[in-house]
Amino acid sequence: MASSNSPFADPHDAPIVAEAKKEVIEAEYSYTERDVILYNLGIGATATQLEWTYEGHDEFSALPTFGVIPQFLASSSLSFDWLPNFNPAKLLHGEQYLSIKAPIPTSAEFVNSARVLEVLDKGKAAAVTTIIETRDKHSGKLIFENQSTVFIRGSGGFGGKRVGNDRGHPDAISEEKTQSSQAALYRLSGDTNPLHILPEFAAIGGFDKPILHGLCSMGIAGKHVLQAFGVFQDIKVRFTGVVYPGETLVTEMWKEGSKVIFITKVKERDTVVLASAGATLLEEVTKAKL
């Protein structure tokens, strides 16, 4: 943990926000081919898709949204205790942006650096965006950039900024039923928030039962984009609803030049759970050396 002047300092920030932006969290993350397979399985890869589930396959690779995994320890270590009335059970994942800066190795040692990017006072809630850079431990090469926005109910009113700085039939539709054990499997990739496994904790957050990780839904939708249109270099989603393990996800996609715009719905409840979502397709695909 370190403290420094923030490159994201804003004269309109409340004092508690200005102070929070100075904190830098660094965390190492190493992984092997086994972790890649576990993640791929966690977002629905099947035993017949050997390029994602068998390390000996010539095309073995991590699904692109694996990029949200190495950063998790660093981002989750940032403290939000400075917010008024902070309660972790009132925290909801709002948006996620992932930019893939280099080919994804199937095993590596990374160093993640996390800090607060922006904090908005929504009155009855706070919206906190963090930025995390993931670099190769040995070369220093930037591999991923993640930006994650969480909404924390009951933590507004601190006097900060309220606003941030500045389609027809789908071209493709993918449908995939999640498993009742999907959240229990996905959490093994690192997101161990009890909201996704303990009924009593989910009840505190106002849910009937544990919900699926938003990043798991994002991974499934990202897999749909990859299968329909090819490799992408970045992806962003807004989490607009919850998914319960066992429900069916339907991703509707529109291709606009090098962009794929998409939404993801829960079929059983006809509810949009990923919106304002898009991915930028990679024009030239360079594979990582195994």
The dihedral sign for the CA sequence 102, 105, 111, 116: positive
Catalytic residue among 67, 94, 190, 214: 214
Question: Of residues 43, 100, 211, 220, which has the active-site annotation?
Answer: 211
Instruction: Check if 196 is active-site.
Output: yes
214 is catalytic: yes
Supply the DSSP string of 261-277, one letter for each residue. Answer: EEEEEETTTTEEEEEEE
Residue with tokens 């989490």: 239
Q: Which residue in the list 143, 191, 219, 234 is annotated as catalytic?
A: 191
Q: Among this protein's residues, is 219 annotated catalytic?
A: no
39 in helix, strand or coil?
A: helix
Which H or E run includes 53? Answer: helix 50-53
Q: How many CB atoms lie within 10 A of CB 78?
A: 18
First to last CA, the chain: 32
Considering the candidates 42, 132, 196, 220, report the single residue annotated as catalytic.
196
205 has catalytic annotation: no
Q: Is there a contact between 48 and 125 (Cβ–Cβ < 8 Å)? A: no
Q: What is the DSSP string of 133-164?
A: EEEETTT--EEEEEEEEEEEET---SS--SS-
Beta bridge partners of 248: 177
Active-site residues, by number, are 191, 196, 211, 214
